């Protein structure tokens, strides 16, 4: 069969389980002549092929397609637009032409190598006959549940978590349905494999284990051509982009281009746990170099071998990226900034928060989870947020993000000014308590938390002096909530609230 566009042909080929119950309008589908020509060409080819999969030449099909063009007025539906929206309002990419090189000759064998539509042994006898799969698969037709059982048996034989990660990534690249079925059915066991902590080791060794690209790589070499790069991605109806520049991967530091494991893993969770269509997700790594000397000297490193770009060069690349995303996918595509360095993370959120749909999980996502935990705790303790004094260990993206959301909620509940609400929230960083006398040396996102107080160097001293009722740890340094710190909290509080986050896996 001839396919000019996978979304046009395979999605309409009645492969079991792929059809959508939504109407054409609900799925953002419009009618356009080009897809009709593709389907007529496919039909013409199919009528002239025998059962062993012989297909007419591309030249012959092109001729038949040209003849069919003069006869066609109406067409079969094809999906277009920046995202799949229920209102049909987004036409960001509606008129993108089909490029000549997208013409491809597909057979049943090719279908088995398409992870989006491949079902492996789960293809029924009817499907095997309809899609020229006879003889390409063993005769057994096991259920998806039995396939999952077999795969879990294989995965459990591996003793090294990284081996399990590599097996899962290989499964995702050959049978997407089975990958998500397995992940959903065994989420507690597989979550630490697909994401933290195993993904951290995977990112460190990404150059050595890299086999197939799972997202887009945009580097300084593509400056001026980012829109072209985005259009190279086969899926056009993108709803969620998770992008990183690899500078602050988990607690591991600058991993450059090898930070791609984070967007890939995060979006896998959005599908498995949030129900977002895999085809609507796009992982992206922006490669501006790395300051990690070990990676620069690694012969297997897959990124740019240069020091990390900063300043205007960095800002111009990010601006071109954000502009191209909006142009290619529309205004309602979500761009999630993931694992950027602190200063860039806050700057990007502030710069594009009013023009794009943006989100930073480290700053905003973590904060929402912590605030919900505090609200739940208050149901047992009574009182309101304004009744408490908060002390944070850690003043990075997570710590300041949580503190800001708590202050906003206090301001909302009490109608007090935001600056006043911040006065009951104190932060300790690597240099001690953040106070007014340190203001000139502080990063801009820490300055709102510089209160009038004598300098304090340690967390224990801060607990004894501030006497917080809520202690929240967001530092990547371990063993900081010592017995002395916990006992000091107990001295000042009959019932206190203590949150400690080890790493960031939210």
248 known member of a binding site: yes
Consult the annotation and say whether 338 binds a ligand: yes
Q: Which of 105, 104, 85, 102 is nearest to 93 (CA)?
A: 85
Predicted pLDDT of residue 401: 92
Across residues 320-347, what is the average pLDDT? 94
Q: Report how far apart, in Å, the C-alpha atoms of 312 and of each of 309, 350, 490 are.
A: 9, 17, 50
Between 480 and 264, whose confidence is greater? 264
Single pTM value for the model: 0.74
Q: 225: annotated binding-site residue?
A: no
Contact (Cβ atoms closer than 8 angstroms) between residue 240 and residue 336: yes
Measured over the CA atoms of residue 489, residue 492, residue 496 and residue 499, the dihedral's sign is negative
In this structure, the answer to whether residues 170 and 49 fall within a common structural domain is no
Within-domain flag for 350? no
Q: What angle do CA 278, 91, 3 make, to 5 degrees?
A: 55
pLDDT band at 380 (very low <50, low <70, confident <90, very high): confident
- pLDDT tens-digit series, residues 424-478: 999 999 899 999 999 999 998 999 999 999 999 999 999 999 999 999 998 877 7
Percent of the chain with pLDDT over 70: 77
97 and 120 together in one domain? no
Do 221 and 317 share a structural domain? Answer: yes
Do both 219 and 187 map to the same domain? no
**Domain shared by 123 and 70, yes or no:** no
Quote the pLDDT of residue 496: 66
Q: Is the pLDDT of residue 498 over 70?
A: no
The number of folded domains in the chain is: 4
Under the banding of pLDDT at 50, 70 and 90, the label for residue 490 is confident
Q: Which of 154, 128, 126, 111 is nearest to 9 (CA)?
A: 111
Is residue 121 predicted with pLDDT exceeding 70? yes
What pLDDT shows up at residue 222?
96
Give the pLDDT confidence score for residue 250 in this predicted structure. Answer: 83
Percent residues over pLDDT 90 in the chain: 63
Residue 180 lies in a domain: yes
pLDDT score at 6: 36
- Phi, psi at residue 170, to the nearest 5°? -65, -40
Q: Residue 359: what pLDDT?
A: 93
Residue 203 covered by a domain: no
Could you list the residue range(s) of the whole structural domain that residue 405 is in? 364-500
Q: Residues with catalytic annotation?
A: 195, 266
Q: Evaluate whether residue 206 is within a structural domain.
A: no
Q: Which pLDDT does position 284 carry in this prediction?
A: 98
Say if strands 2-3 and 104-105 run parallel, antiparallel, or are unpaired: antiparallel
pLDDT at 30 over 80: no
């Amino acid at each position: 069969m001839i396919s000019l566009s996978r979304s046009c042909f395979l999605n309409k080929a009645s492969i079991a389980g792929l059809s959508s119950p939504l109407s054409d309008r609900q799925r953002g589908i419009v009618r356009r002549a080009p897809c009709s020509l593709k389907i007529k060409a496919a039909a013409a080819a199919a009528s002239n092929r025998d059962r062993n999969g012989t297909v007419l030449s591309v030249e012959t099909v092109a001729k038949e397609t040209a003849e069919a063009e003069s006869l066609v007025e109406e067409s079969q539906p094809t999906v277009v637009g920046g995202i799949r929206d229920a209102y049909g309002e987004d036409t960001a990419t509606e008129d993108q032409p089909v490029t000549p090189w997208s013409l491809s000759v597909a057979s049943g064998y090719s279908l088995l190598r398409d992870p989006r539509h491949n079902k492996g042994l789960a293809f029924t006898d009817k499907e095997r006959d309809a899609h020229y799969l006879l003889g390409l698969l063993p005769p057994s037709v096991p259920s998806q549940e039995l396939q999952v059982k077999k795969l879990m048996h294989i995965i459990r034989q591996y003793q090294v978590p990284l081996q399990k990660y590599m097996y899962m990534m290989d499964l995702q690249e050959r049978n997407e349905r089975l990958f998500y079925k397995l992940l959903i059915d065994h989420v507690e066991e597989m979550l630490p494999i697909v994401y933290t902590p195993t993904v951290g080791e995977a990112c460190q060794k990404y150059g050595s284990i890299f086999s197939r690209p799972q997202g887009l790589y945009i580097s300084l070499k593509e400056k001026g051509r980012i829109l072209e790069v985005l259009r190279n991605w086969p899926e056009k109806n993108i709803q969620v982009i998770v992008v990183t520049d690899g500078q602050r991967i988990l607690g591991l530091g600058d991993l450059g281009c090898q930070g791609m494991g984070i967007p890939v893993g995060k979006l896998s969770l959005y599908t498995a746990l949030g129900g977002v269509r895999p085809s609507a997700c796009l992982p992206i790594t922006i490669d501006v170099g790395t300051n990690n000397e070990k990676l620069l000297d690694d012969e297997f490193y897959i990124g740019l071998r240069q020091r990390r770009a900063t300043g205007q060069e960095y800002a111009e690349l990010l601006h071109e990226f954000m502009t191209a995303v909006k142009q290619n996918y529309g205004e309602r595509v979500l761009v999630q900034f993931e694992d950027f360095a602190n200063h860039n993370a806050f700057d990007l959120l502030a710069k594009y928060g009013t023009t794009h749909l943006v989100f930073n999980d480290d700053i905003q996502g973590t904060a929402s989870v912590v605030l919900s935990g505090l609200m739940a705790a208050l149901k047992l303790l009574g009182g309101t947020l304004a009744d408490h004094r908060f002390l944070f260990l850690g003043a990075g993206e997570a710590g300041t993000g949580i503190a800001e959301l708590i202050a906003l909620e206090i301001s909302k509940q009490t109608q007090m000014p935001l600056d006043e609400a911040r006065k009951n929230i104190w932060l300790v960083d690597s240099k001690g308590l953040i106070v007014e006398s340190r203001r000139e040396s502080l990063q801009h996102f820490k300055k709102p938390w510089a209160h009038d107080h004598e300098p304090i160097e340690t967390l224990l001293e801060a607990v004894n002096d501030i006497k917080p009722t809520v202690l929240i740890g967001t530092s990547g340094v371990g063993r900081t909530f010592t017995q002395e710190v916990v006992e000091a909290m107990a001295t000042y509080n009959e019932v206190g609230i203590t949150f400690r986050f080890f790493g960031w896996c939210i």
